[in-house]
Amino acid sequence: MHVLLAEPPGPNLAPYIVAVFAVVLLRVGTRLRDPAPKVLLPLAAFVLFVCAWQVAADLARYELRDKEGNFLRMVEVFPAPWATLVGMREPFTDGTLLRYAVASLYRVAAGFVIAAGIGIPLGLWAGWHLRGFQAINPLIQALRPISPIAWIPIAILWFGVKDASAIFLIALSSFFPIVTGAMTAVRTIPVVYVRSAQNFGLTGSELFRRVVLPAAMPQIITALRFALGIAWMVIVAAEMIAVDSGLGYLVMDARNANYYDRVVGAMITIGIIGILLDLGMRRLELLDEVRWGFPSQREEVVEEAARPRLDAERERTETAVAR
């Protein structure tokens, strides 16, 4: 983006001023009680991020002069926040951004469901049966470190440049965290749970259904959350090569057209959707069947409410020591 100017512009002080107010807001937010910090602290962190982004964009631009040394214009190398918003207006209004986001979500959902449908039962079986664990664990540990990106040429060879390639990569990248998490969840169940159930006459499938599976579910939920994050990262890389639509394709297409404002805008869109996906997975932690395996809401509230008092006490102690 080129801006025609008669003279070089002076330093942009606005992001520094706004950053000072954000730091003050951050300081105030740490001293308040819930629910105010849950709003003020993320807001202050977001404002600081935008200010740092603006400063980085200002530092990256340079002056363009003619042979006589006369100033011509400023060349923007990295898009600033406002330029990014302006650049994303067209793909947002014409529906391109929505179509590509839906395409990416469809591929992630399809691949993730396939991985969970295979990985959870296989992991539970291998975790519960020692011989099964001994049989498949070496193979899983050998394949797990291979980057999903390395499978892109094979995916294209098998499925072509279509949705099936991206779905295969998503299923593959999600499978290993899920199956490993399920195996670990079963194998780390306290023995006292199983023996207590056996004392009450539970055996076989009933023992597995009523004791083993509920005890393993919190760790399985954590594994699913971790796997979904990996899947969302992999889909972006896969769409840059293996398909011709989606947010990853939007990043690559914008780069080829030298629209770096859209590149950054697509990256921000990917991050926002990733946050929403993670929040959706965290909702599973509130289910009655698995809530016991995670910190309760009451404990978190008590901890957050007590933190300002602890910080104030620590500051008084540090002041007293300094004197």
Q: How far apart are CA 210 and CA 207, in angstroms?
A: 5
Residues 109, 210: one domain?
yes
User: How many residues are given for the chain?
Assistant: 323
User: Is the distance from CB of 235 to CB of 107 less than 8 angstroms?
Assistant: yes
Say if residue 35 is exposed, middle or buried (CB neighbours under 10 Å; 0-12, 13-18, 19+): exposed
Residues 34, 54: one domain?
yes
What pLDDT is attached to residue 283?
A: 83
Q: Global pTM?
A: 0.77
> Which residues have C-beta within 8 Å of that of residue 268, sequence separation ≥ 6?
84
Residues 114, 71: one domain?
no
Q: How far apart are CA 77 and CA 225, in angstroms?
A: 37
Residues 164, 209: one domain?
yes
> Which residues have C-beta within 8 Å of that of residue 312, sequence separation ≥ 6?
31
H-run or E-run covering 154? helix 152-159
Determine phi and psi for 72, rounding to 5 degrees: -105, -60
Domain end position, chosen among 28, 51, 78 = 78
User: Is the distance from CB of 149 to CB of 226 less than 8 angstroms?
Assistant: no
Number of domains in the chain: 3
Q: How far apart are CA 18 and CA 1, in angstroms?
A: 24
In the structure encoding, which two tokens stand for residue 271, read together?
């991050």
Q: What angle do CA 205, 206, 208 make, to 5 degrees?
A: 65
Residues 140, 263: one domain?
yes
Residues 71, 142: one domain?
no
Dihedral sign, CA of 84, 89, 91, 97? positive
What pLDDT is attached to residue 162?
A: 82
> Among candidates 239, 222, 224, which has minimal Cα distance to 106?
239
Residues 67, 119: one domain?
no
Report the SS3 class of residue 210. Answer: helix
Pick out the chain residues at pLDDT < 50: 1-5, 296-298, 300-302
User: Is the distance from CB of 57 to CB of 76 less than 8 angstroms?
Assistant: yes
Q: For residue range 218-275, list pLDDT tens digits in order.
A: 888 889 999 999 999 888 888 887 778 889 889 888 888 888 889 999 999 999 999 9
Q: For residue range 115-150, list pLDDT tens digits in order.
A: 999 999 999 999 888 888 889 889 999 998 898 888
* Widest Cα–Cα separation across the chain: 94
What pLDDT is attached to residue 302?
A: 46
Determine phi and psi for 77, rounding to 5 degrees: -80, -45
Residues 135, 230: one domain?
yes
Residues 64, 162: one domain?
no
Residues 248, 191: one domain?
yes
Q: How far apart are CA 102 and CA 44, in angstroms?
A: 31
What pLDDT is attached to residue 4?
A: 46
Structural domain of 321: 298-323
In the structure encoding, which two tokens stand for residue 93, read together?
């209004």
Residues 149, 262: one domain?
yes
DSSP 8-state assignment for residue 80: -
